[in-house]
Structure 1
């Protein structure tokens, strides 16, 4: 496929593009600078409609190019064009490409051999669209029919993309609630390459960061002067100008990273036949086997622990582990105060028996977890940090410590995450 500049198009198409951008800037004036930073790239598609990519959402890449199909541009209503420009700017400002959970996995698992998007890419596109679109659905701005909204998924508004991602685990492709929607917002959504991407230089990472800060300042000014900024953009601006660590995102990323170390260990097995066995009936072919991670959860049940904070952390872990496919047989839970109690297998973390209530020694819990068979690949510890720690980690096991008190301590050899209370 061939790329052209917007200036090469007919004057009517150029005017339609300008009208769409003006419409978008009028609807969300605090995003005007970001809208102007979009660099349109015209894509001349193949005459073969079956193989031509669908650019109806005006997808973007990570360097702020937005890809334009002249046929779509010539027919899309100006308001819908403006919506998609706001939508793509939102993916870029919120750094959805860097947040894509599949980015931590081996390339072989995130790129389909046929060139089509993988299940993870499609699920993330829906999840990140849901995060965006509840902030674009205002009194004067209606969503196009092809746009995803949390209400269409049967999910609450104001969640993060990661929370929607976890909630969509196990859903069919696309989710049953929206069988008519299969958006592709491009590399700007998931960071994975697309056939239509150009090799033209775009906005650098540094320039994009400066633009994000400028946009955050405009959002604050707009909020002060007019007070009608969507809540999601207010939160984004606060995080950009006064960054706080999102413990939910950190916890999910660390658990997924530990699980990805295991799910990348693909090996051959003769326990089930290969799907290609029919091609060579006289030869027994092995199939590929991808093990699920074994996870051990050590919970501090000493008297100093806060029930409300522990409840929040367990709720987040439930969603993360469910999204990774960690079932009952792959998850063991150990309650621990000054000693470790018997490991429990539970399908729902809310059903855990929290035994204990005395002193604290999380080292005993980690030792007990490391001694389990099969041996865990990942140990997650939830504690306030008022505990002695071992001088070294258990060999060959990744350890993530969720600290429920900022004054608590975690060992240097573990991945530590501060879990803070929310209202």
Structure 2
């Protein structure tokens, strides 16, 4: 990808011939007034975003001297990770204030929800120019747009006709971008581009003008979260914003320690059970002639792992959680022959006996119904005492607890559900990687 070089006139980086950066003060008065009015309009429609909207750094891209079609399609007012928003002078002049205001709300949401950090695709070497973008980048852009727009559609902002919504792809509202990302695989998608603020991949128009640094961006996000939580008390706040603010402001629990201690307690409960057995004679039979006394038996703990392998599960999270369960189970001395693993999406797959959880063959990627998986675990012989379920919780559950089994659910999405008869452990791997929802 070509990187910007210096304009011989000293007016900033030069991208394509005839394209240059301008300052806001170089625009006509009417254009400057429209920019200011658009930010005010956006802040009135979404007051909880006012701080973030005012933090945006405007970079004007002048393509008026280009011979032929403009090389960059900036109708969506794209952003980069430095909170710079790119304005095409012609679009700024022609578009009405509410449309520009919508795009400002939309683009600042990409930044607040850290979509560039969350990008699950393969990074392109050196970035990808518009018109020749990696399909992963396009799919992620549409997925993040769906995450944003279903919330905006529930609020007071009027969406343009071409704004991607989950319903356009027969998908439900309320999902995370990662869920839409998996569901959109193989779909025919519009080639939308909201800039490097969505996937971290540099664009040809990206500027080196000073923007908002990382620490300042985090402070802006926390201020937005505070305003969201205040607005929740008055009601009418879209669910995606509530979820994001609560996760950002809630204290992080040490999920590794919590998961480890819960599994250890479950195994200890089983190992501590003492029962009578007549399968071998008691050593005290000699003191009671004619009476057969039972001996005492202490069962060896048996553990099963049920893995949700539906399409909404993130491979990186699942791998990290599975490695942690494997370490805990091995450290507490559960016999390797007694560790069995079942993968489940809409159906349960054959149980695997593995010596190491890293050798598990993951099967699935369809829908989710862990009722099938728990039923398959219950049919294992000998029956497991403890079942560790790794899932995002977007599944139906049995109404009753499995008989004779303790169930620990390692939940990979705080919005997922866990039945009241199971022990819930929130596994928040993305928070450790500096990610937020």
* Structure 2 length-normalised TM: 0.59
Alignment pair present for 1:197 and 2:215: no
1:81–1:341 CA distance, 2 compared to 1 (3 A): same
Q: Which of 190, 193, 198 is 1:184 aligned to?
A: 193
Deviates more, 1:1-10 or 1:85-94: 1-10
Alignment pair present for 1:220 and 2:238: no
Partners of 2:201 and 2:245 in 1: CA distance = 26
Partners of 2:36 and 2:181 in 1: CA distance = 34
Q: Which of 157, 181, 186 is 1:170 aligned to?
A: 186
Q: Secondary structure at the match of 1:144?
A: coil
Spell out, residue by residue over 1:191-241, the C-alpha distance to the aligned partner (whole angstroms, 9 max, x if none): 1111111111110000000110011001111222x2121111111111111
State the partner residue of 1:206: 215
Spell out, residue by residue over 1:129-149, the C-alpha distance to the aligned partner (whole angstroms, 9 max, x if none): 000011111353221022111
Superposition map of 1:37-52 within 5 A = 37-45=55-63, 47-50=66-69, 52=71
Q: Which of 102, 113, 117 is 1:83 aligned to?
A: 102
Partners of 1:350 and 1:337 in 2: CA distance = 30
Contact 2:340 2:351 in 1 (8 A): no
Structure 1 vs Structure 2 CA RMSD: 3.7
Partners of 1:78 and 1:52 in 2: CA distance = 24
State the partner residue of 1:12: 30
Superposition map of 1:55-66 within 5 A = 55-66=74-85
Which protein is bigger by CA-based radius of gyration?
Answer: 2
Partners of 2:75 and 2:129 in 1: CA distance = 24
Partners of 1:367 and 1:182 in 2: CA distance = 39
CA shift for structure 1 position 14: 1.0
CA shift for structure 1 position 6: 1.3
State the partner residue of 1:339: 337
Contact 1:62 1:97 in 2 (8 A): yes
State the partner residue of 2:385: none
1:137–1:340 CA distance, 2 compared to 1 (3 A): same
Count of residues in Structure 1 that have an aligned counterpart in Structure 2: 293
**Unaligned segments of structure 1, at least 5 residues:** 175-180, 248-301, 322-335, 370-381, 383-401, 406-416
Q: Which of 351, 363, 367 is 2:355 aligned to?
A: 363
Superposition map of 1:267-346 within 5 A = 305=304, 310=306, 313-316=308-311, 338-339=336-337
Superposition map of 1:96-111 within 5 A = 96-102=115-121, 105=122, 107-108=124-125, 111=127
State the partner residue of 1:29: 47
1:317–1:3 CA distance, 2 compared to 1 (3 A): closer
Partners of 2:227 and 2:357 in 1: CA distance = 49
1:49–1:95 CA distance, 2 compared to 1 (3 A): farther
Q: Secondary structure at the match of 2:310?
A: helix
State the partner residue of 2:250: 242
CA shift for structure 1 position 365: 5.7
Partners of 2:312 and 2:150 in 1: CA distance = 25
CA shift for structure 1 position 418: 4.8
1:404–1:190 CA distance, 2 compared to 1 (3 A): closer
1:44–1:337 CA distance, 2 compared to 1 (3 A): farther
State the partner residue of 2:281: none
Contact 1:339 1:364 in 2 (8 A): no
* Structure 1 length-normalised TM: 0.61
Contact 1:340 1:364 in 2 (8 A): no
Contact 2:304 2:341 in 1 (8 A): no
